[in-house]
Amino acid sequence: MLRTRLIVGSLLIGGLALLALIDSSAPTLWIGFMRLGPGAVLILFSLFAFAPILAGEFSRLMNPSAPAALTRIHFLAIFIGIASVGVVADMVPKHLALPVVMSAPFFLVLLCAINHARTRITTGFPNTVGGALLGYAAIGVPLGFWILLRHDRDAWTLAGAILCVKSADIGAYFTGIIIGRHKMIPWLSPGKSWEGFVGGIVLSAVVGAALASFSGTTAAANAFVDPISIGYGIFVAVTLGIVGTGGDLFESLLKRGAGVKDSGSILPGMGGLYDVFDSLLLAGPVAWWLLAN
């Protein structure tokens, strides 16, 4: 299992670097009359690759026997959440952006009502609405904030912020295996320990300091990376590591409620895509507040 996790984790880090490289070389794209970007590649991946997979896994957590119609509603909720934060501002006039975004939850509630009326079943409507709004707010909107961060900063800063979050996961995992003794929240996440949590935060701080130091080099300047101080890099990394741990625990609430260990099995040794994204999702809005220009 450890060997599999190391291989898959290395591939994911390599994929992140490749995505940042592609994005930095082609930050915008035109699709018909619509301009996507900065972060066009990230937008397309989020809307058409990540969102469908996350919707399927989220639906199974909400209802293991979820019908296809409910999965489609969850996909639309996540899709709209991503678009409302990360894409709408580029598609509509500035004075319309806020009304459009605020209309999204209202539209989702109406969609749930129409779908429920079609089934002619009177029970379960609040759960359907709650699931759609949860998918919108807890998955779609945070992913949109990562795209919004790419609007304001370069692709490498975005990749560095993601690496800081995942470094906390990696540090917590290995520290917990080696010296973990005191359980953090055993009723919710039995594998997490306080020693692992501290180890994760320490590794995240080290990664943040290293990335901040690199941001001031000539190579970083040539890649149009905005420099940040080492002190602020450590502060951002530690904050994102702590918030990311909260995101992991948030998903654990859903998994324990559904009685499953993982959200899926798409990533060998790691579970589902949601299991990898959980810490990133809660950290998305915080990353934007801390790093956006």
The domain spans of the chain are 37-152, 155-293
pLDDT tens profile 60-92:
999 887 788 889 999 999 999 999 998 887 777
pLDDT tens profile 234-265:
999 999 999 999 999 999 999 999 999 999 99
Tokens 């291989």 -> residue = 7
Regions in the chain scoring below 70 on pLDDT: none
pLDDT for res 34: 74
Identify any residues that bridge with 212 across adjacent strands, giving them in sequence order: none
pLDDT for res 5: 85
Cα torsion angle, 157, 144, 75, 56, sign: positive
H helix intervals, 191-229: 194-215, 218-222
pLDDT for res 98: 85
Residue 234 and residue 272 in contact, taking contact as beta carbons nearer than 8 Å: no
Q: What is the pTM of this model?
A: 0.94
